[in-house]
Amino acid sequence: MSNLYGRRVLLGVTGGIAAYKSPDLVRRLREAGAQVRVAMTAGAMEFVRPLTFQAVSGEPVHHDLLDPAAEAAMGHIELARWADQVLVAPASANFMARLAHGMADDLLTTLCLATEAPIALAPAMNRVMWANAATLANRDLLVRRGIRMIGPGSGDQACGEVGEGRMLDVPDIVAALTGDPAEPGPLDGTRVLVTVGPTREAVDPVRFLSNRSSGRMGFAVAAAARRMGAEVVAVAGPCAVSTPPGVERVDVETAAQMHEAVMARAPGCDIFVGAAAVADYRVAEVPEAKIKKNDDTLTLSLLKNPDILQSVAALPDPPFTVGFAAETHDLRDHAEAKRRRKSLDMIAANWVGRAQGGFEGDENALEVLWEGGGRSLGMQSKAALADALMELVAERYHEERGSQDSR
């Protein structure tokens, strides 16, 4: 991944003097756009108190595998499923040995066995412990199983010795997680335009019509495209979500402003993803003064807003155009009808108004449809979902571009 925007990072902290660096690691990960939760071993709590991590993460700290309150709902499994990335820093020799041999005798080792997320370790120990044949064998076994080693570094150690085994500095650990991939991404060389969030349509100088879109899914799509190598511009309606690193943001308020910003940029892009929840209608006449509450009823005359998706798809040389559809019933039928009506290359449909997914939440699921095919993307974090969606978009984009180039 080229950044951590929107990613759910589970930080494991084990016993060792290097644990004093881990609160700063939480802060740096959050600055990089990640959501962070912390799981501590008993040894870690001898060096740093859980309250410190709670203060810097803004989340409860997890440390007890047999916590009756959490385990009533299988808390350790839920936490393992929550994570998009597991990072253990510092990772002690004892922890590496237990993980290498499949131990699940505390919360952190159990989480590592129960998660499907990638795992990275930042080892920290005395230089002789790191050089011990048992530690090196455990390291090699963990690497063969797909676990990533970040460090250790070499230098002065807390014991007064000098050598390999010290935990990397916090910026270096974050850089290792956010560094650009060594190989080109599937969207290298492409220009991607994404619309994000809601629009607002004024009723009077103090009131407006809008919707419940938070902008999280749209910015997750922008971040995913950027991770995959694209040059990304996000045209965003009013939302409080931060901009992913490397993404150019254009702020607008109304549907008309979003339409104007998109149409000025769409002819120069390769892929357009309309993830914004654009208002279908605007108030016909907006008074200059606040409307007073004088009558029992109020009638507003509404005019239809320009259709951004349809306008992009109708360009003489349109980009690969992806729409979103939020539905309360007949999801696939309504989405496919919208795709055909607007001549879209692909549409991503999700339920709204249900207990899970949709607006405002951290998770979502999508039914993705295209001419002659489709795929279901199950409930997961919006960051992970955006990655899966953009992988599909890249696949379909290259297939269609390849078939057009061969004509």
Q: Which residues pair with 166 in a beta bridge?
A: 153
- Indicate the SS3 state at residue 285: coil
Task: Please give the distance of CA 304 from its chain centroid, rounded to a whole number.
Answer: 33
Q: What distance in Å separates the CA atoms of residue 60 and residue 106, rounded to the nearest whole number?
A: 18
Residue at token pair 């009506």: 341
List the strands of the sheet with 320-327, edge to edge. 248-251, 231-236, 191-196, 271-274, 320-327, 346-351, 363-370, 373-381
Q: What distance in Å separates the CA atoms of residue 258 and residue 251, rounded to the nearest whole number?
A: 8
Q: Which residues pair with 155 in a beta bridge?
A: 163
Asked if 80 and 57 touch (Cβ cutoff 8 Å), the reply is: no
Q: Which residues pair with 202 in a beta bridge?
A: 208
Q: What distance in Å separates the CA atoms of residue 209 and residue 300, rounded to the nearest whole number?
A: 11
Residue at token pair 């357009």: 272
Asked if 67 and 13 touch (Cβ cutoff 8 Å), the reply is: no
CA–CA distance from 368 to each of 166, 206, 287, 391 (Å)? 46, 38, 42, 12
Q: SS in 3 state form for 99-168? A: HHCCCCCCHHHHHHHHCCCCEEEEECCCHHHHHCHHHHHHHHHHHHCCCEECCCEEEECCCCCEEEEECC
- The b-or-e profile of 328-341 (16+ CB within 10 A means b, else e) is eeebeebbbebbee
112 is catalytic: no
Q: What distance in Å separates the CA atoms of residue 4 and residue 31, rounded to the nearest whole number?
A: 9
Catalytic site residues? 159
